[in-house]
Amino acid sequence: MTGIVYGLVNASEYGWGRALTIAPLFVGVALLGLFLRTEQRASAPLVPLHLLANAERSGANTARFLFVGSMAGFWFFIAQYLEVSRGLNPFGAGLAFLPMTLGSFAIAFLVPRLSRRFGTAPFLIGGLATVSIGTFWMAGVSSNGSYLWTVALPMLVVGVGQGASTIRLTSAAIHGVSPKDAGAASGVVSAAVQIGNAFGLSLLVALTSLWVPRTSTAASFAAAHARVAMVGGGVLCTLALTSAVVFVWHPHRRDER
């Protein structure tokens, strides 16, 4: 993953056709294939590959990977936008994220109890869909737009969706795991989070560098970066939603996980 992330970061600086981009990407993919081959042959693998053979768990981990990649870009680019385009200091930028935090905090308390009544689908699928809507909504930011309509309200939407879906993604990723594989399954979930963060952010940085032309002012430049990143993040979250619908969603099962 170091090679893949390094290659994506180099793509934003040197271009996609340069050896500094292609070589790390190639090495990263080759090493990933070697890792899977090694785990397949090992008598005591670090990651038992039969954990990845389960469609529901792999779908949940794929959705988590894409979802956290989207969120990594959200935090990174919107923080820059708030400071550079809107002129907030770091403390003010932190306070500007409060609607997102409050939305996530409030819904997270209700999810376990309501899931027992309504099942997991409204929170897993609905939560990811809500995050996608909020992220695409954030693509309308500008250096002089309304904080309420272009920042606070979409942040609240993203926060509610994040709080609703995160718990359900975790439970789906470890559902049905035997006690002996519980630690490894939990490790795969953590790896999906950490790797998804690095991969998603590096990908969005590469995309913004590719699609955003240099503008006359730093404020407009940061706002343009945020817009492109939010579109890319919205696509990642939509792909996460697709993975959850195809592999994880069981509309007729009421689950008390």
Q: Quickly list H helices, 42-97.
A: 50-53, 55-80, 90-96
pLDDT of residue 257: 45
The Cα 129–Cα 15 span in angstroms is 33
Confirm if 81 and 215 have CB atoms less than 8 A apart.
no
pLDDT band, very low/low/confident/very high, at 251 (cuts 50, 70, 90): low
Within-domain flag for 78: yes
Q: Sign of the CA dihedral 193, 197, 198, 203?
A: positive
Please tell me whether residues 16 and 138 are part of one structural domain. no
Please tell me whether residues 130 and 110 are part of one structural domain. yes
Kindly state the average pLDDT of the residues 222-251. Answer: 92
Please tell me whether residues 30 and 111 are part of one structural domain. no
pLDDT of residue 16: 82
Please tell me whether residues 172 and 199 are part of one structural domain. yes
Kindly state the average pLDDT of the residues 169-186. Answer: 88
Q: Is pLDDT larger for residue 128 or for residue 46?
A: 128
Confirm if 47 and 68 have CB atoms less than 8 A apart.
no
Mean pLDDT of the chain: 89
Query: Which secondary-structure segment (H or E) carries 211?
Result: helix 182-211
The Cα 119–Cα 11 span in angstroms is 43
In the predicted model, is pLDDT for residue 116 greater than 90? no
pLDDT digits (tens, 9 = 90+) for 68-110: 999 999 999 999 999 999 999 999 999 999 999 999 998 988 8
Residue with tokens 């306070």: 95
In the predicted model, is pLDDT for residue 254 greater than 60? no
pLDDT of residue 129: 96
In the predicted model, is pLDDT for residue 127 greater than 90? yes
pLDDT of residue 233: 96
Please tell me whether residues 8 and 93 are part of one structural domain. no
Kindly state the average pLDDT of the residues 121-147. Answer: 91
Please tell me whether residues 8 and 30 are part of one structural domain. yes
Give which of 35, 51, 29 is closest to 173, Cα–Cα.
Answer: 51
- pLDDT-above-90 percentage for the chain: 56
pLDDT of residue 78: 96
The Cα 108–Cα 99 span in angstroms is 14
Please tell me whether residues 83 and 21 are part of one structural domain. no
The Cα 156–Cα 133 span in angstroms is 11
Within-domain flag for 82: yes
pLDDT digits (tens, 9 = 90+) for 223-234: 999 999 999 999
Please tell me whether residues 26 and 98 are part of one structural domain. no
Structural domain span for residue 108: 55-248
In the predicted model, is pLDDT for residue 47 greater than 90? no
* Whole-structure pTM value: 0.87
Within-domain flag for 257: no
In the predicted model, is pLDDT for residue 39 greater than 50? yes
User: How many structural domains is the chain composed of?
Assistant: 2
- Please enumerate in sequence order all residues whose Cβ is within 8 A of that of 64, keeping only pairs 6 or more positions apart, or say none: 169, 170, 173, 189, 192, 193, 196, 240
pLDDT band, very low/low/confident/very high, at 256 (cuts 50, 70, 90): very low
- Please enumerate in sequence order all residues whose Cβ is within 8 A of that of 167, keeping only pairs 6 or more positions apart, or say none: 108, 111, 112, 123
